[in-house]
Homo-oligomer: A and B are copies of this chain.
Amino acid sequence: MAIDTPCDRDTWVRTIKLPPPSLQDNTADSDRLINSLTRHLKTERVQTDMAVLREMPFQLREWDYAARCVVVKDPYANQWYLTGISNPAVKRVVAGIAVDLGTSRVALRLSDLSGSTTLYETSFDNPQLTVGPDVLTRVHACDRSEGLAELNHMLLYGLNQQIRAACRSCGLDPTDIHFMTLAGNTCMTHLFMGLPPKWIIREPYIPVINCPDMHPAAVYGLEINPAGRIFIFPNIGSYFGGDLIAGILHSGINRKTDPAILVDVGTNAEVVLGNDSWLMACAGAAGPALEGGVAKIGMMAGPGVVDRVRIDADARKIQVGTIEDRLPVGICGSGMIDLAAQLFRAGMIDLRGRFVPEACAGKLQEKSEMVYLEIVPAESSGTGRALVISQADLDSLIRSKAAMYTILETITESVSMALDDLKTFFVAGTFGAFIDPESAVTIGMLPDLPAGTYRSLGNSSLEGAAQVLTSRESMDQIEQIKTKITYLELNVNQEFMNRFSAAKFIPHTNPTLFADKNGEAPTI
Contacts and interface: CB of A to CB of B under 8 A. Distances in A.
Interface of A: 21-23, 26-31, 44-45, 47-50, 53-54, 56-58, 76-79, 193-196, 198-199, 203-211, 213, 215, 219-220, 235, 237-238, 489, 491-492
B77 A23 contact: no
B54 A206 contact: no
Contacts of A45: 76-77
Given A23-B489, A47-B213, A491-B23, A208 B77 contact: no
23 contacts: A21-B204, A21-B206, A23-B205, A23-B489, A23-B491, A26-B205, A26-B206, A26-B238, A28-B207, A28-B210, A29-B199, A29-B207, A29-B208, A30-B208, A31-B210, A47-B213, A50-B193, A50-B215, A50-B219, A50-B220, A53-B208, A57-B195, A58-B196
Contacts of A219: 49-50
Contacts of A53: 193, 195, 208-209
Contacts of A29: 199, 206-209
Contacts of A211: 31
Given A26-B237, A492-B23, A31 B76 contact: no
Contacts of A213: 47-48
A213 B215 CA distance: 14
Contact of A44 (B57, B78, B194): B78
A502 to B, nearest CB: 25
A281 to B, nearest CB: 14
A22 B23 CA distance: 62
Given A53-B193, A57-B199, A58-B196, A206 B28 contact: yes
Contacts of A56: 208
Give the 3 A-B CB pairs with smallest separation, nearest first: A28-B207, A45-B77, A28-B210
A50 B208 contact: no
Most chain B beta-carbon neighbours within 10 Å: one of A194, A206, A211: A206
A285 B492 CA distance: 76
A208 B28 contact: yes
B209 A31 contact: yes
Nearest to A76: B45
Given A44-B78, A77-B79, 17 more contacts: A26-B238, A28-B235, A28-B237, A29-B206, A29-B209, A30-B209, A31-B210, A31-B211, A45-B76, A45-B77, A48-B213, A50-B215, A50-B220, A53-B208, A53-B209, A57-B199, A77-B77
A392 to B, nearest CB: 31
Nearest to A55: B196
Contacts of A23: 203-205, 489, 491-492
Contacts of A195: 50, 53-54, 57
Contacts of A491: 23
A267 B79 CA distance: 38
Contacts of A199: 29, 57
A211 B47 CA distance: 11
Contacts of A492: 23
A30 to B, nearest CB: 4
Contacts of A235: 28
